[in-house]
Amino acid sequence: MLQALTDRLAQHPIAYDQLRRVIEFNFVALHRALSEARERLNIDDKDGWILDLPCGTGIFATNIEEDAYVGADLEALYVSAARRRHPARHFQVADGTALPYADESFQGAILMGFLHHLDEPTVGAVLAEVARVLRPDAWLILIEDAPSPGFRNPIGWCLQKLDVGDHIRESDAYTPLLEPAFREQYRRSFASGFWNYTMWLGRKQDLGDREATPAER
């Protein structure tokens, strides 16, 4: 019943956002994590386009300058809500496994609250596609829902049971998933209100002469 309730709420993006805003204490910790990531990766918005995948309703778009920002999401409903929220920004309906962008178009990408919805083969396809559209020197910010420590965060643990993500992974699980295309630079776990996340920062790997894996081809 609770799962049905969250599924229905997801059809009302702004109401869903408000619920998340309460659970995550106005997203203060997530905005702080994004600022930290920008500093650690030395990001300069003037250095080229930045991809926000998936952008959802554009809640975190303002962390990137308007001129550099491209938001993409599979759900037209969410993209419409994002356009209403930020009319001057560029948003597009797009599938992360088949992005409508040329090779090496972006200086970096932010993947937030995404991979925990996807099984491993789909994660491989998304990461290969993201690597394709990133420049050779590109950076990656990954922020994913992580398991809540039940005894320390009982409310978060219960709420996470309602989340629609079927593939919530331990923080350690991301490095091997990302490694074919990205090299880890920094990782930490944090709480955003009652929710738990892991943040992974890295750079696109120089594949050199190494033979590409099937996921990268």
Ligand X SMILES: C[S@@+](CC[C@H](N)C(=O)[O-])C[C@H]1O[C@@H](n2cnc3c(N)ncnc32)[C@H](O)[C@@H]1O
122 vs 207, which CB is nearer to ligand X? 122
96 vs 180, which CB is nearer to ligand X? 96
Min dist CB 70 to ligand X, Å, is 13
Min dist CB 74 to ligand X, Å, is 4
* DSSP-H helix ranges across the chain: 2-10, 13-23, 28-41, 76-85, 120-133, 154-160, 174-178
75 vs 208, which CB is nearer to ligand X? 75
Min dist CB 96 to ligand X, Å, is 3
Min dist CB 182 to ligand X, Å, is 18
Residues in contact with ligand X by the rule CB under 6 A? 54, 56, 59-60, 73-75, 78, 95-97, 112-114, 117
Min dist CB 145 to ligand X, Å, is 8
| Alpha carbon distances (Å) from 174 to 169, 178, 189 | 8, 6, 12
31 vs 207, which CB is nearer to ligand X? 31
Strands (E), 104-194: 106-112, 134-145, 182-192
| Separation of alpha carbons 131 and 182, rounded Å | 8
Whether the CB-CB separation of 181 and 204 falls below 8 Å is answered with yes
| Separation of alpha carbons 23 and 94, rounded Å | 28
95 vs 184, which CB is nearer to ligand X? 95
